[in-house]
Homo-oligomer: A and B are copies of this chain.
Amino acid sequence: MPIGFLVYNHDARSEAYDALKELFRPSHADYTWQMKYGIRDHRGGGRASAREHIARVVAGAIAKQYLSRQGVAVHAYTSRVGSVQLEPEYAPWELPCREDSLIGCPDREKESEMVELIRAVRRAEDSIGGVVTCVIRGVPPGVGEPVFDRFQARLAHYMMSINAAKGFEYGEGFRAATMKGSEHNDAFRPSSGGVTTLTNHSGGIQGGVTTGDEIYFRVAFKPIPTIGLPQQSVTTSGEEIELRASGRHDPCVIPRVLPVVEAMAAMLTLDMMLEGGYYPLKINEK
């Protein structure tokens, strides 16, 4: 049966957005949705608001319960805020790390730098971008489809549907473009009960299908476009205007976007396992 739920927003203050009714905020969906639909809801950003992601997080939480029975776990962590980069970025970090961390970075020192940067940006009434790394552990070999619905293709779709996402890469990602085959290839070795690889540059997927290794990927997020600093903009009637955002807005999608990345990754993994008929998940199975 379908699972339905309602999340009431008791803290909405629609009137705080009155000033935005007649103008287009830079790098928001205001202008494009107006062009597409001829109408838009300026209050709280309407449906373009990241509030929409609450539904994804709820659904992802259900997917995670299912996956955990299959031994699959999904962990997202903060690997970059602005210029502060976690090093090494993909490593056997102790995960999950979100519980006892301010912004979900597995390295305490780097986390401090990141938090400091976010605070400085907030004081400057500006915003800053970041990168989330996510690891999916325990997916068996053979999940994913061979041509259009490769695991990584669908995963990219799911990730790039998150607000503010600007880039997706898995395994070595863009770094693979600078590598030679002799560096990037994952050599096979015999192992008990099958084969294994000496490295996992590939990120746990070959030919669109999972290898059984850890799947890891990164999603880049732009700086949140709502800033207190003055910006040039235009009203809906075409006049120049200087815009200074007031009210509630975060200086960085980090750490709020971490559960969204996890939720989308969990749903993708479950979807592909079910669609591929790989795991006949049974109702009432313990």
Contacts and interface: CB of A to CB of B under 8 A. Distances in A.
A129 to B, nearest CB: 4
A32 B180 contact: no
Interface string A168-179: 111111101111
Nearest to A52: B147
Interface stretch (A8-16, A64-72, A185-193): A185-193
Given A186-B26, A202-B27, A207 B33 contact: yes
A29 interface: yes
B223 A184 contact: yes
A142 to B, nearest CB: 4
A224 interface: yes
A89 to B, nearest CB: 12
A145 B156 CA distance: 16
A36 interface: yes
A217 B179 CA distance: 21
Interface residues of A, number: 115
A269 interface: no
A150 interface: yes
Contacts of A150: 160-161
B173 A234 contact: no
B174 A32 contact: no
Contacts of A1: 37, 41, 46-47, 146
A135 B155 CA distance: 23
A116 interface: no
A229 to B, nearest CB: 5
A231 interface: yes
A281 interface: yes
Contact of A189 (B37, B142, B174, B240): B240
A38 interface: yes
A209 to B, nearest CB: 4
Interface of A: 1, 6, 24, 26-33, 35-39, 41, 46-48, 52, 80, 82-83, 121, 126-131, 141-144, 146-150, 152-161, 165-174, 176-190, 194-195, 197-198, 201-203, 205-212, 218, 220-227, 229, 231-234, 238-240, 274, 276-278, 280-281, 283-284
